[in-house]
Structure 1
Amino acid sequence: MLAIVMCGGRGSRLGFVEKPMISVGGKRLVEGVMEELELAGLETVFVTSPFTPETERFLREMGLEVFRADGGGYMHDLRQAVFEYRILEPVLNVNSDLYFRERGIILRFLRAYLTSSSPAMSAVFPSGRRVGINAFDPALGEQREEKFIIEESRVINIDTPGDLERLRDGRVL
């Protein structure tokens, strides 16, 4: 299964900072996502945009597969990558602004998806808010999705300055 990591957002809620490059504990957020995907043994494509040149440069210098979308928005850029890579089988897509407090979350998500009868799965917090980890089959178009519940203390989606501040202070979000 291919993993697509979305790295092209504007970061507007964080003052237009490239969120994948935010460092927490000496490690960039995108590096933590990389480690999770390596643990799961997935081939990965990183989708950047004109809004994330530093992220793109960092990923290319590491020798990773990078696709530069045109920056039309999350779903637009994801569809653009699926089309460009001619993906016609299930794919995992992950946000690059996640901080994993424990290892193996993506692996557990994948196991649940691969044993499910649903063509799509989305990780959500108990509140219903999306985590930023999804699997779907692009060949099937619109799909009913199963929910995979993850406790908010295990993975943190960095959306706001407050999220980042609480993470850096060591407080559970």
Structure 2
Amino acid sequence: MLALILAGGRGSRLNMGEKPLVTICGRPMIEYVLDAFALAGCETMVVASPQTPYTRNWCRAHGIALYSAGARGYVADIVEAVTELGEEGPVVTSVSDIPCITPDLVARVQETYLEAGTPALSTWVPAARCTGSALRLSYQECIDGVATCPAGVNILLGARIAEEQEEYRLLVDDPALGLNVNTRADLALAARRLCPDATGVSWSSGHES
């Protein structure tokens, strides 16, 4: 499947420049996400925008497929990218600020989608596992009796991208998907998870490189 990694927002809540390029354990945050999808067998492409020029330059410099969207909003940029790319099959979409996501989690999402038989799939995490944006925590749904938050990973059928699609809601009780980086405290948590054996683990603005 094609995986679109959304990286067109300002990242103003973190206030460290373009969030996809904020480094954790010496690597840009977005690189962890790209690697997880690639290792799960996905074809990856970053969807950036005029609001993230450094991210676009980083993608070009590293030979990463890039689509420059119009920065009209998260959903609008997805619709634009899928439409312009002419994708009619299932397309995975992901936020770029969940650096602890793993190839196994990506594979589980894809396998569940294929088994569900619905045009779309959304992924959810128990609210008790969620960290990061208050906006994320404010949007909750009850799945199997559990209060959940959106994980930021979804699958949509490209041929029906402009329509509302029937979806299967997948509940994943895993802190790796619950860690949505929006604060420096979130960055510290991500660093401890991604390189637990490192001493003096740090993170920095991606604009320093």
Q: Normalising to structure 2: TM-score of the pair?
A: 0.75
Offset at residue 78 of structure 1 (A): 0.9
Is residue 135 of structure 1 aligned with residue 119 of structure 2? no
| 2-structure distance, mates of 1:61, 1:154 | 28
| 2-structure distance, mates of 1:76, 1:145 | 18
Is residue 70 of structure 1 aligned with residue 92 of structure 2? no
Decide whether aligned partners of structure 1 residues 123 and 110 sit closer, same or farther in structure 2, where only a CA change above 3 A counts.
Answer: same
Q: Which has the larger radius of gyration?
A: 2
Is residue 23 of structure 1 aligned with residue 23 of structure 2? yes
Offset at residue 138 of structure 1 (A): 2.9
Decide whether aligned partners of structure 1 residues 169 and 34 sit closer, same or farther in structure 2, where only a CA change above 3 A counts.
Answer: closer
Aligned position for 1:159:
182
Offset at residue 152 of structure 1 (A): 4.4
| 1-structure distance, mates of 2:173, 2:123 | 10
Deviations 1:71-129 (Å, cap 9, x if unpaired)? 11111111110111011111101111112165421111111111112211111112221
| 2-structure distance, mates of 1:102, 1:138 | 24
Aligned position for 1:52:
52
Structure 2: where are the runs of 5+ without partners? 128-147, 194-209
| 1-structure distance, mates of 2:25, 2:6 | 22
Decide whether aligned partners of structure 1 residues 101 and 41 sit closer, same or farther in structure 2, where only a CA change above 3 A counts.
Answer: closer
Given residue 154 of structure 1, which amino acid in structure 2 is its aligned partner? A
Question: Where do 4+ consecutive residues of structure 1 move more than 4 Å?
Answer: none
Aligned position for 1:120:
120
| 1-structure distance, mates of 2:102, 2:90 | 25
| 2-structure distance, mates of 1:154, 1:19 | 18
Offset at residue 66 of structure 1 (A): 0.6
Q: Normalising to structure 1: TM-score of the pair?
A: 0.89
| 1-structure distance, mates of 2:35, 2:191 | 20
Identity %: 34
RMSD of aligned residue pairs (Cα, Å) = 1.7
Decide whether aligned partners of structure 1 residues 39 and 51 sit closer, same or farther in structure 2, where only a CA change above 3 A counts.
Answer: same
